[in-house]
Amino acid sequence: MPIYEYRCSSCGAQKDVLQKISDAPLTVCATCGKPTFSKQLSAAGFQLKGSGWYATDFKNSGSKPETKAEPAAKAVNPVTPTAGGNG
């Protein structure tokens, strides 16, 4: 259930209320009793956690994941270019 922030325009009282999305918004202030209690617009507070894309791709802010070093394959017939050609 989301937490909504309410503020009374008459007395200035503020309150955070845990409500269902389907619940009707509150209108009467619990402090002064006037019908000037209204829902405020506020930033959503959430955090991405777990083994999803966020944790693996952007956690280290741009650093690339470490790769395992593979043993170098030995060349059987290395080809080296010669200067001057076959003349």
What residues have CB less than 8 Å from 37, skipping those under 6 apart?
6, 7, 8, 26, 27, 28, 29, 30
Q: What is the pTM of this model?
A: 0.49
Looking at the predicted structure, is the pLDDT value of residue 50 above 80?
A: no
Average pLDDT over residues 2-17: 92
- Summarised one tens digit per residue, pLDDT across range 59-83 is 555 555 566 666 665 556 656 666 6
Q: What residues are paired with 6 via a beta bridge? A: 15, 39
Looking at the predicted structure, is the pLDDT value of residue 58 above 60?
A: no
Q: What residues are paired with 5 via a beta bridge? A: 16
